[in-house]
Amino acid sequence: MTLVRRPARAQTAAPVIRMGTILADSFAQPFYAVDAGFLDRAGISGQVTVFPGSGAISTAVAAGAIDIGLCDAIVIANGLVHNIPFATIAGSGLFKATEPTGLLCVDDASPIKDAKDLSGKSISAPSLGSLTTLAVQEWLVQNHADPNASKFLELPFAQVAPALSRGTVSAGYIGEPVLSSVLGVTARSIGNPYAALGPQVLICNWVTTHDWLDANRDLAKRFVAAMSATAQWANAHRDLTAPILSKYSKIDLDTIKRIHRAAYATGYDPKMLAPSLDAAYRFKVIPRPVTADELMTKL
């Protein structure tokens, strides 16, 4: 895990919010909120910890190790099913099928060409039982392959291309900004899994616990407003967010400027969540149906 701290101003006693995210463009909103000053202007001191996947973030939120984290809806829904008091307060990264920010990849020298070739093979995702895993399963079905015939492993994006080269996994999902640094170099794409869930998918949500929310409701409202302002700014100023993403990802700025950049939700609509939740129950990724209204918490 990597902790990114924003030094608190000595003359203020701004409340600290400990945030968790993944080092991926679609999860980069907290970096922009900190570096561009949106949290400072809301009277909040932000600290960001980088985790390998949504599962690790949800565990940290549930344990109180962080206050708020970015998780996909399936991980949150599984927590709710198991009586973890998650409270989801806002949306964040969006996937657009026409501008994919992540792809299913194989090694450049691999003989694998399509979904059917993955039968009996291993596939990596950043978190097991996550929205990414679900997207890959849906993609396999839509391309006439059996998702139960593949084995899923957990790997963060930065480790996928080396694992493909070693043969540790046969295919792996890689998100930006790592994707563009390996695509056409050591890896190639064989599919766009998230497009199987729809033309636009909410990739991650801001989640906390009801205990934290009950004790910090006004602070949470200011946080959500700051993130909405961050989303609007980031969507309109990708030229200004690119250096920030380069700073945290350690990927050169020219590469960042070439990638498909994520958009961020400026509102929270149940329609953004319902298709993914329905598919999760259909694939038994969650043991019972979970509605968008059950997952979303009004401030």
CATH code of 20's domain:
3.40.190.10
Task: Indicate whether 45 and 63 sit together in one domain.
Answer: yes
pLDDT value of position 73: 94
For the chain, the domain total comes to 2
- Which pLDDT band holds residue 29 (cuts at 50, 70, 90)? very high
Q: Are 35 and 91 in the same domain?
A: yes
pLDDT of res. 257: 92
14-46 b/e with 16+ CB inside 10 Å = b? eebbbbbbbbbbbbbbbbbbbbbebbbebebbb
pLDDT of residue 6: 53
Q: Which amino acid is at 118?
A: L
Contacts of 233 (CB under 8 A, 6+ apart): 32, 36, 38, 240
Predicted confidence (pLDDT) per residue in 215-229, tens digit: 999 999 999 999 999
- Binning pLDDT at 50, 70 and 90, where does residue 8 land? very low
Q: Residue 7: give the domain boundaries.
A: 2-95+201-295
Do 209 and 67 reside in the same domain of the chain? Answer: yes
Same structural domain for residues 140 and 125?
Answer: yes
Structure tokens at 173: 């999902």
Is the pLDDT reported for residue 3 higher than 60?
no
pLDDT band at 10 (very low <50, low <70, confident <90, very high): very low
Same domain (yes/no): 85, 121: no
- The answer to whether the beta carbons of residues 92 and 206 sit under 8 Å apart is yes
Whether residues 137 and 151 fall in one domain = yes
Find out whether 295 and 77 touch, Cβ atoms under 8 Å: yes
From 197, 213, 242, give the residue that closes a domain. 197
The mean predicted confidence, pLDDT, of the chain is 93
* 134, 252: one domain: no
Q: At what angle do helices 131-142 and 73-81 cross, to 10 degrees?
A: 110
| Residue 238 and residue 255 share a domain | yes
**Distance between CA atoms of residues 256 and 158, nearest Å:** 15
Domain final residue, candidates 197, 223, 240: 197
Out of 182, 197, 212, pick the residue that ends a domain: 197
Structure tokens at 22: 């993944």
Q: What would the pLDDT profile of 79-121 be if each residue is shown by its tens digit?
A: 999 999 999 999 999 988 888 999 999 999 999 999 999 999 9
